[in-house]
Structure 1
Amino acid sequence: MEALLNEWLWQEEYWLPPGARWKDIEMKQSEGHIPLPRDLIYTLPLAFAFIALRYVFERLIAVPLSKYLGVKDRIRIRAPSIPKLEAFYKQNSRQPSQSEGVSLGKQCGLSQRKIQTWFRHRRNQDRPSNTKKFCEASWRFVFYLIAFTAGLGSLINTPWFWDHRECWRGYPKQSVADAHYWYYILELSFYLSLLLCVSVDVKRKDFKEQVVHHIATIFLIGFSYCTNFVRVGTFVMLVHDSSDFLLESAKMFHYAEWTRTCDSLFVVFALVFLVTRLVVFPCRVVHSTLVVSLEYFQPFFGYFFFNALLFVLQALHIFWAYLILRMVYKFVFLGKVERDERSDEESEVDYNEEEDEPEEEGDECNWEHRKGTINSKLASLANNCVLNNLTNQRNINSRMPKAR
């Protein structure tokens, strides 16, 4: 297996610039640690460890914190149990067409309005609660905050943090410090855990863009580690973490309905995001990898592939910046942030909340029974009103002679 990988995957022309060989970048233990592809094997078990840690964190810390901050879940009307509609909902579509609704109505003996109401209640029943969204945002907030703090502490004293030419001086024979090694491994493990949990997390309206972002980030981190683009890679991760924890904190206060705090954090997040993703990232990172790096080595496969991944991330940055600027417009001219245009809205097609429609809660028999109950209560109430009026009239007549 090792010989096969060396022959097909770990060919030197893929991972190293022209003229460089694997033996040329070998280092003694006293000289430092050189990035090796086999180091990335540890990221998969660490990803499952992150999933387990997230499960414990959400139940022991995030849920009590949500109650403390006043996060409230909307009480949703549960759709009555109708097996044929339930089977269609799970196997065919969550929102049937008009012809499908007519067919289902004939099968179940229900009107079109009741069919539509059942599917609306069933969709709303599956929509995530505010507590679930708060737990997800709080987990990401904690990781991004810790990652940004640790990454900034490990990079602020490095020469390439201030001079981007230092990222390539001496390449590819550059040793990796233990702090940067663990920064890489933990970041890659975390994004792997996000990708593994994408099917159970809250699906937002930029769901596809988020999946593309996770995949591009995983390839970017893994490939940059194998090609020893670690110096520029750590800076890329730091740039992303600098605004992500602000976004997640704004979401947390949004679910808790702390409007002023949420709006303030959003403004700070928007400023940091626009500066780091539209100014620092293209002018510092992309320019360094695309232009400055050519002063130290000739282009090779790793150079083109790494820059292609950076351009994918930059395209996503522009897309999200457009959504954020829309929110800034609403905040400035409307006075408040109504929705998270970036990724806070679910990808559900039916945004309307449940409406009070009593005649559409169940089948015909249940409605007839409830209607009879309501009519009997109304009749009893009317009789009581008549009796009270007669009693009051009798009392008035008995008091009139005394008044005279």
Structure 2
Amino acid sequence: MHERNPTHRVQKLPQRTKKKAQDESLLTSLCTLICDNQIGISVNLLLLLFLTHIFFPRARRRTSKFLHLSYYNSESGLYGCGPDDLPLVATWTVILTGLRVAVMEYIIDPLARLGGVKSRKGLNRFKEQGWLIVYYTGSWTLGMYIMYHSEFWFNLNGMWEGWPHREVDGLFKWYYLVQWSFYLASIMVVNIEEKRKDYAQMFVHHIFTAALIYLSYGYYHMRVGTVILCMMDVVDIILPTAKLLKYMGYTLLPDIVFGIFLVTWLVTRHVFYILVCWSIYKDAPTAMAPGCYLSDGTIVPASSTDQYDALGGNEIWSNLVKAYTDRTGPICWHPSNRFGFLGLLLALQCILLLWMVLIVRVVYRVLSGQGADDVRSEDEGSDEEEVEEDEDGDAEHYSHNTETVKSDPEWVPVEQEVGVEALNLTRKNYKRNQNRSSSGRASGISIPGHGDRKELLGRIGCDKPT
């Protein structure tokens, strides 16, 4: 009988049973491409736009709309509003999508590791909240600067006086268009991030906000839009700050910051916000006389029924989007128009009230001594494996991957006889292959937490039903 060499032993190595990719849909491939390569796609689109603008002079008449503010009036030094602004909104949507991932990966991620955040989920949360602080700090500061140098600084009636404001300052216009781009990008981002308990509210919130910006821009009501955006942005700085402190291991500081957030939330979103809604109902009809406003500054009052009807005074929807359809034509105000805006704003207030319920739950946790916790987040469960650094400085989750090997039915353990020397060599090769596969992606950047392709497709709703 053949004797085995005592220097040999049986080792179980993971061997993946490869399954043939089955009829992958175009939507599935597209979702995977976008999620895994947000920076690459954004940079490539922007490079294509810039190169086309530089090397094809005949195309500049069209490409310039994607790069510059449109409708500049050299006589007044102001900018008008119109459909040519939409390409710039698309450009900034792409910029913000790529910029978000770049800031998260190359700035916030190192800071999170220095702050002692070691778990995979903790890093993802830290980076997401850190990006919100970066963006909202900039947008809120700029919005407050614009308001401070305006006629409607702590003057609600000033939001309506002088309407319609067909031309605005360039900085004001750029701020409003970028805010619009941010919420359009957020509609996609909320489906890329790990879904939370308030996913539906957040998704609807972004759609409502983008719709309000669209209509307010089309109806020359950017003043009231800016006031509302500033009220919304300030709390979105404070709450993520409390979360970051919690992820870094602090106990008392998150509760203090959360208390500041709670007061700010109540004042801005349930007091100031309601005052703005009341001003729309009460002040707007008196500050803006019912009638049709012509581009030369003359007004056709609603009392001139025939002429008012002829100019479209009773066509509510067409007037709401006048900046996109006929920017130099008459734009009419009817007191009943305010109910359309009030309906959207009050619907948004209902979403805020739902969030207030979640906030009350956090307050209860603090008062009961459990500490402030993010009630929006899913339970951490067993997904708190630490991120370890290997010899080359790359993040390794070897222990986590080993657990995946054991639990995944597609991995089949195979008995194989190997020598003692081969055992060490096999372990090294296994680790190297891991590093090579994790770093050998196509252009762009891999989103943290999206390494599992099946999990990613299920998250964004592109996975095929089994």
TM-score scaled to structure 2, two decimals? 0.56
Per-residue deviation, residues 181-231 of structure 1 (Å, max 9, x unmatched): 111011111111111222221211000000000000101111101100011
Pairwise mapping of residues 238-317 of structure 1 onto structure 2 (< 5 A)?
238-283=230-275, 285-295=276-286, 296-298=288-290, 300-301=316-317, 302=320, 303=337, 304-317=339-352
Is 1:353 paired with 2:382? yes
In the alignment, residue 75 of structure 2 is paired with which amino acid? Answer: S
Per-residue deviation, residues 331-386 of structure 1 (Å, max 9, x unmatched): 1233522x212x2x12xxx764379xx9x9558x97x9xxxxxxxxxxxxxxxxxx
Matching residue of 1:65: 111
- Which one of 320, 329, 334 corresponds to residue 369 of structure 2? 334
- Which one of 178, 198, 203 corresponds to residue 190 of structure 2? 198
CA contact 1:180–1:234 (8 Å) conserved in 2: no
Alpha-carbon distance in 2 for matches of 1:172, 1:225: 11
Alpha-carbon distance in 1 for matches of 2:178, 2:164: 23
- 1:179 deviates by 1.9
- Which one of 153, 161, 170 corresponds to residue 161 of structure 1? 153
Matching residue of 1:44: 90
The structure whose Rg is larger is 1
Matching residue of 1:176: 168
- 1:156 deviates by 1.2
CA contact 2:159–2:224 (8 Å) conserved in 1: yes
Matching residue of 2:75: 30
Matching residue of 1:373: none
Identity score, percent:
30
- 1:153 deviates by 1.4
* SS at 1:33 equivalent: strand
Q: Which runs of 5+ in 2 are unaligned?
A: 1-70, 291-313, 321-336, 385-402, 416-466
Is 1:234 paired with 2:226? yes
In the alignment, residue 340 of structure 1 is paired with which amino acid? Answer: D
Structure that is richer in strand per residue: 2
Query: Aligned residue pairs: how many?
Result: 281
CA contact 2:190–2:202 (8 Å) conserved in 1: no
In the alignment, residue 239 of structure 1 is paired with which amino acid? Answer: M
Let me know the Cα RMSD of the aligned residues.
2.9
CA contact 1:40–1:222 (8 Å) conserved in 2: no
Alpha-carbon distance in 2 for matches of 1:28, 1:67: 50
* SS at 2:192 equivalent: coil
CA contact 2:109–2:123 (8 Å) conserved in 1: yes
In the alignment, residue 201 of structure 1 is paired with which amino acid? Answer: E
Is 1:320 paired with 2:339? no
Matching residue of 2:334: none
TM-score scaled to structure 1, two decimals? 0.64
Query: Cα distance 1:333–1:352, how it changes in 2: closer, same or farther (>3 A)?
Result: same
Alpha-carbon distance in 1 for matches of 2:346, 2:75: 37
